């Protein structure tokens, strides 16, 4: 495993790719050069010491921390619409340190969650969708109560909404998890545009394009355009070109 770059190299390299990060405390986007280097130094130092990023929101964040230059440039060159995704992956530690309305799990619980994540991914790859849901629910049940205290809860709810709406077409379950996400979002208040975006996805998959467009517009405005990440190309195309989907 390759160690991550120094904090200064991380910031400088990142500044060449994207220019903004989300200041959750003041709820505005700032230029990357205004980032508090101390937060990034802490994250890099912790990673180099333990081989694990304590503030990682996903396996993709930890993957990036293994080789920041390679991840940024090789990934971004083929995903140029993924600004928000890149921002979230690279500056996750910074955002968590600024806004503690939700927390990351302790290392022992996170390791269990990571195993379940890998199991769920393998099930999905093998089209074992019952197994995929089983492992996602195992993750949910492993998260301590109250669920709204933990960032992982928000992630699990989003994954299940996407699965039930896009792949399983079980809109009753999708909307049940959408209600759960709305509760988490109200309590955590650190995911601008995400709830509107997920509502838009459900309406889109139901072919309710007018409602979907309203929510996608709200999501774009609430997140200043950063809600669209990798894997969202069809939704972004719909947002940009609704006439292709809405028949008069």
Domain extent listing, the chain: 7-89, 107-244
- Mean predicted confidence (pLDDT) in 94-113: 62
Count other Cβ atoms within 10 Å, centred on residue 218: 17
Q: Tell me which DSSP letter residue 248 carries.
A: -
Is the predicted pLDDT of residue 80 greater than 90, yes or no? no
Contacts of 44-51 with C-beta under 8 Å, sequence gap 24+, read 44/4, 44/5, 44/6, 44/7, 44/10, 45/7, 47/3, 47/4, 48/3, 48/4, 51/1
pTM for this entry = 0.61
Helix 233-240 and helix 194-205, axial crossing angle in degrees, nearest 10: 90
- For residues 132 and 51, give the distance between their C-alpha atoms in angstroms, rounded to a whole number: 28
- For residues 55 and 239, give the distance between their C-alpha atoms in angstroms, rounded to a whole number: 32
**pLDDT digits 0-9 by tens, 31-49:** 544 444 444 444 445 444 4
Residue 136 tokens, joined: 């996602």
Out of 1.25.40.10, 3.20.20.70, 1.10.3720.10, 3.30.70.260, which CATH number does the structure's domain 107-244 have? 1.25.40.10
Sign of CA pseudo-dihedral 129, 130, 133, 138: negative
- Mean predicted confidence (pLDDT) in 122-134: 95
Q: Please report the pLDDT score of residue 183 as a whole number.
A: 93
175 falls in which pLDDT band (50, 70, 90)?
Answer: very high
> In 3D, which of 189, 185, 17 has the Cα closest to residue 86?
17
Query: From residue 216, how far is each of 36, 73, 209, 223 by CA, in Å?
Result: 31, 28, 10, 10
Taking all residues of the chain, what is their mean pLDDT, rounded to a whole number? 71
- For residues 128 and 44, give the distance between their C-alpha atoms in angstroms, rounded to a whole number: 37
Contact 61, 44 (CB under 8 A): no
Q: What are phi and psi of 104, to 5 degrees?
A: -85, 155
- For residues 85 and 71, give the distance between their C-alpha atoms in angstroms, rounded to a whole number: 12
81 falls in which pLDDT band (50, 70, 90)?
Answer: very low
Q: What are phi and psi of 233, to 5 degrees?
A: -60, -40
Q: What are phi and psi of 80, to 5 degrees?
A: -70, -10
Between these two residues, 28 and 87, which has the higher pLDDT value? 28
Q: Which residue has the tokens 């545009």?
A: 193
Count other Cβ atoms within 10 Å, centred on residue 93: 24
Q: Tell me which DSSP letter residue 167 carries.
A: I
**pLDDT digits 0-9 by tens, 181-235:** 999 998 887 788 899 999 999 999 999 999 999 999 999 888 877 777 767 789 9
> In 3D, which of 135, 133, 140, 134 has the Cα closest to residue 109?
140
The SS3 of residue 181 is: helix
- For residues 114 and 120, give the distance between their C-alpha atoms in angstroms, rounded to a whole number: 10
């Amino acid at each position: 495993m390759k160690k991550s770059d120094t904090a200064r190299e991380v910031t400088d390299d990142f500044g060449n790719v994207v220019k903004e990060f989300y200041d959750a405390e003041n709820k505005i986007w700032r230029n990357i050069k205004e980032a508090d280097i101390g937060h990034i130094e802490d994250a890099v130092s912790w990673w180099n010491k333990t081989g694990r990023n304590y503030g990682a929101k996903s396996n993709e964040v930890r993957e990036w921390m293994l080789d920041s230059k390679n991840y940024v440039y090789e990934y971004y060159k083929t995903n140029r619409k993924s600004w928000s995704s890149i921002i979230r992956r690279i500056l996750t530690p910074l955002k968590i340190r600024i806004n503690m309305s939700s927390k990351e799990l302790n290392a022992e619980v996170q390791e269990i969650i990571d195993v379940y994540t890998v199991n769920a991914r393998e099930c999905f790859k093998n089209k074992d969708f019952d197994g995929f849901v089983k492992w996602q629910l195992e993750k949910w049940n492993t998260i301590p109560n109250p669920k709204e205290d933990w960032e992982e809860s928000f992630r699990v709810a989003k994954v299940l909404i996407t699965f039930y709406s896009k792949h399983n077409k079980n809109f009753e379950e999708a909307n049940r998890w959408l209600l759960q996400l709305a509760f988490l979002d109200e309590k955590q208040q650190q995911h601008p545009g995400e709830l509107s975006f997920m509502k838009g996805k459900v309406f889109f998959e139901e072919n309710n394009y007018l409602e979907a467009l309203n929510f996608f517009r709200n999501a774009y405005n609430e997140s200043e355009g950063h809600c669209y990440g990798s894997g969202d190309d069809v939704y972004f195309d719909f947002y940009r070109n609704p006439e292709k989907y809405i028949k008069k």
